[in-house]
Structure 1
């Protein structure tokens, strides 16, 4: 685009980014469910007429790249000739929508004088679509157990509400008021973006708009290529394991990625992963593309807004029928595979980029969901939250403590005040897990724990699938402590587990404990004053300070015992451990 006015291109680009943020604000302010307005379990964006992302707003980042794939499936299935002004399409067929059935993609085509010029799309979590279990299904074996499928269904056609589709949804959910309310918020968000793009084109003209779109995408590619050029070149392979598939609880599920970084592209090849499994952890190809794009974005263009141009140098390979490319009717409900996948990619990259890539994070998304009949209303209630994890340490410093897993940047946890207001449970503890971060010259971030006391009969489920293997350390750093879930602690029915769907009675307790990140470097090389500060903050116990870091702490004065520390570390040096 040699004659494009660069200032005008920036004006149009920033207008699109502002429009996407307005879509986000509209969604948050009008949705009914905390999973949307508190947790931000959504992904949205504005696209050109070729389904290329132009602008997005913060949310669940992996959705946005998967939305590209789902949007293309909408156009392919319906045909461009069957898209009209005022249409609003709903899609949740997992193998097209790039998520599970409860993550519904809403698509609004944008027209200017009968000419298709793009789309807005919003994917968000719906609370219930008549899946076999309220909340989440942890043991489905077929996609048809996982809820109502909407295969590119027009909820609005030419601006007219399709009441047949509306009633189909209303009568296939346990929580119709909240689900329908959230759906209308989602539609309103799409319409907001649609209007803003139409206003933009009316102001600058369709030709100028299309020229600007071309330059926005080309510039995004140039930025990605510049970031790629700075990375070491090579091929590296890594793997990790999920605890099980939800059905065969004795079998670890392998995920393997071979990552090749060359001058002009990065290839992520999942060919070494296990075949699709019986339980609901299989991943649609669009989700695999989204996870791979998330890591690629983080290492090439982390500081610029995302658009489809950023991902032109990325190639993703996943053979059909493997756990990373599910085929119908393979169950996909829990999406556990997507939570570990970014860790596998970074584990491979760490072999060639040890000074750039951190150690493994807490390794999972520690969601807790409660569902039941509320004693005050007689209606279904459902609330959820996700705990922060410890991030892995890196060559430049310690890992962060208690932040959202790297598969869900842009999301938040649910405030305690909201959880207790909306649901019959009491949060009795919310704390950092001492000694959960991997030891090292740079310590891994710590996980957290949260304790839930139930005040009424309810079902409680957790989504934790990395309890049998620990978050790995780097450069001699220790592994982090893996997460766990403790059901009814201190009773004769105590159970220590990971993913669980448990029926809880009044006064019973569940404790959710997230994992700590891996450490980086030899822990005996950690500055004793940093170890002392960790003990002061109760991140590290005095016992671990002595046994792992070889630092003796005078607990009365709360200072380093320099003589004892010197003796401990000199002893290690004489024994060849330093």
Structure 2
């Protein structure tokens, strides 16, 4: 007979009995395994590469209060945003109106924490007629009849950003609502793919629902509730233990977004002030610019999500995420500002959310020099193509994210060609997949020489990809840090910024940023992701490492001499020690 455990809410209380501690760990790992199974189910049944290759999704299992118990790797900024979205969904519908067998669709940005194409699908979990939690999965749908196919860069109202699903039930008490399905079908340019992805999310949620019910059947409902509480309390304890070890104080930083997509000559400021106390980690956005006309405004849910990502990385990066990890975190975001958008502000291009974790690190850099890296490219560079496929006659729409150079840090060089720190659970789209799915030819994919910031520890090298359109289509690029460079730390040098090159090698060649540009068959686009900022004085870098960087193609011979004071004879691959000593002494 299972001995019950007294339910306690304090994060300071442990489940004392050793056997019960083991039981909590078994339940926790079961939930984590269930979340991973949800992910596998989603990826195996989804229609679009943005889900099964790029992993633009966030999913998990939640308790009745919409608190995260377990998740699977995906787009990390969804983690805290999904909690917020579930709470707003339950608040809007009323818990009394949520029934066993329901499946709910939710994408109202100000409540769902993302733009309209990030649709949250959730199913309540019941056991013996009692609501005990939720299984939820948010994933990117490629089209809901928004203003432009693929992606919107210059919308000025939520009402130009696609179909709103404000808690509609695609299943009601286990019965599919064909009216809701038809509403979605008739509001998408690619209905089969959208419905296919929705079905994959539904299957994903049903997997989580079934596994939790089996777990409760095995261990009992009260044991499940107590174990859930202890999972959260333990998550809080380990976060607070790490918080206690961080330096205490207040630090600020700011950075700039290129533009809002409408006023192209006006940069937009994000300011962050971080305060660390014995009990709280406060992220305050006071001083950030007001909401703008274009679609870069952020709903509060995603602002909380990216602040949580930074906090998680600083405190509990090696443990699975749950709601308890974030109890010491407090976010202050002035209503009506860029980071707390209000209806009807446009929110489609949510790229400032990618900047925020970097700016939080920038604020903490002076206080935590052994922890925080230099800027890692500054953002994600996303490239999308859309058009009519010359073979099938159907709409083709594919996308990928490019690999940035990670910022250098006190421990060493930044990593080359890696996903941005805002999306550690994501991947880029393989070349073979892009060329199979779309009329594209990838003519080059390589690490971009001299994109890295020089330093005693060198920044990571960003990646470049060369796209040739083999049929007419539109190229859509999403990036918002091309006018400022990825910053360095501790005397290092800035890295080269992200950029797009159109029509390279022709009279029309132009370096640009975010675009929606028609291209003819044979025309070329080159995307270049930014490098990582350097750390420390470049003249303190060992000459042997500089030589190795030149041999590897990361650093040019000219940069080695100019930025590092190292003269290299590339014919013999040797260092001119006399000339090098002279250069370094002159500095």
TM bucket (normalised to shorter chain) is: over 0.9
Q: Is 1:110 aligned to residue 110 of structure 2?
A: no
Tell me which residue corresponds to 2:380.
365
How far apart are the structure 1 equivalents of 2:583 and 2:337? 50
Q: Is 1:233 aligned to residue 248 of structure 2?
A: yes
Alignment of 1:23-422 (within 5 A): 23-422=38-437
SS where residue 159 of structure 2 aligns?
helix
SS where residue 211 of structure 2 aligns?
helix
SS where residue 426 of structure 1 aligns?
strand
Question: TM-score, length-normalised on structure 1?
Answer: 0.98
Unaligned 5+ runs, structure 2: 1-7, 9-14
SS where residue 236 of structure 1 aligns?
strand
**Residues 410-456 of structure 1: CA deviation (Å, up to 9, x unaligned):** 00000000000000010001011101100100001111110100011
Q: Among residues 492, 501, 512, which one is paired with 2:507 in the alignment?
A: 492
Tell me which residue corresponds to 1:18.
33
How far apart are the structure 2 equivalents of 1:571 and 1:256? 38
How far apart are the structure 2 equivalents of 1:491 and 1:134? 28
Instruction: Tell me by how many angstroms 1:305 deviates.
Output: 0.3
Tell me which residue corresponds to 2:3.
none
How far apart are the structure 2 equivalents of 1:269 and 1:259? 6
How far apart are the structure 2 equivalents of 1:67 and 1:393? 31
How far apart are the structure 2 equivalents of 1:542 and 1:417? 33
SS where residue 462 of structure 1 aligns?
strand
Instruction: Tell me by how many angstroms 1:495 deviates.
Output: 2.0
SS where residue 381 of structure 1 aligns?
strand
User: What value does the CA root-mean-square deviation take over the aligned residues?
Assistant: 0.8
Question: TM-score, length-normalised on structure 2?
Answer: 0.97
Q: Tell me the number of residue pairs that the alignment of Structure 1 and Structure 2 aligns.
A: 572
Tell me which residue corresponds to 1:472.
487
Q: Is 1:433 aligned to residue 433 of structure 2?
A: no
How far apart are the structure 1 equivalents of 2:142 and 2:122? 19
Instruction: Tell me by how many angstroms 1:493 deviates.
Output: 2.1
SS where residue 375 of structure 1 aligns?
coil
How far apart are the structure 1 equivalents of 2:423 and 2:371? 20
Instruction: Tell me by how many angstroms 1:490 deviates.
Output: 1.7
How far apart are the structure 2 equivalents of 1:260 and 1:517? 26
SS where residue 548 of structure 1 aligns?
helix
Q: Among residues 512, 515, 537, which one is paired with 2:530 in the alignment?
A: 515
How far apart are the structure 2 equivalents of 1:281 and 1:539? 33
Instruction: Tell me by how many angstroms 1:351 deviates.
Output: 2.1
Alignment of 1:524-539 (within 5 A): 524-539=539-554
How far apart are the structure 2 equivalents of 1:262 and 1:299? 14
Unaligned 5+ runs, structure 1: 573-578
Instruction: Tell me by how many angstroms 1:3 deviates.
Output: 5.6
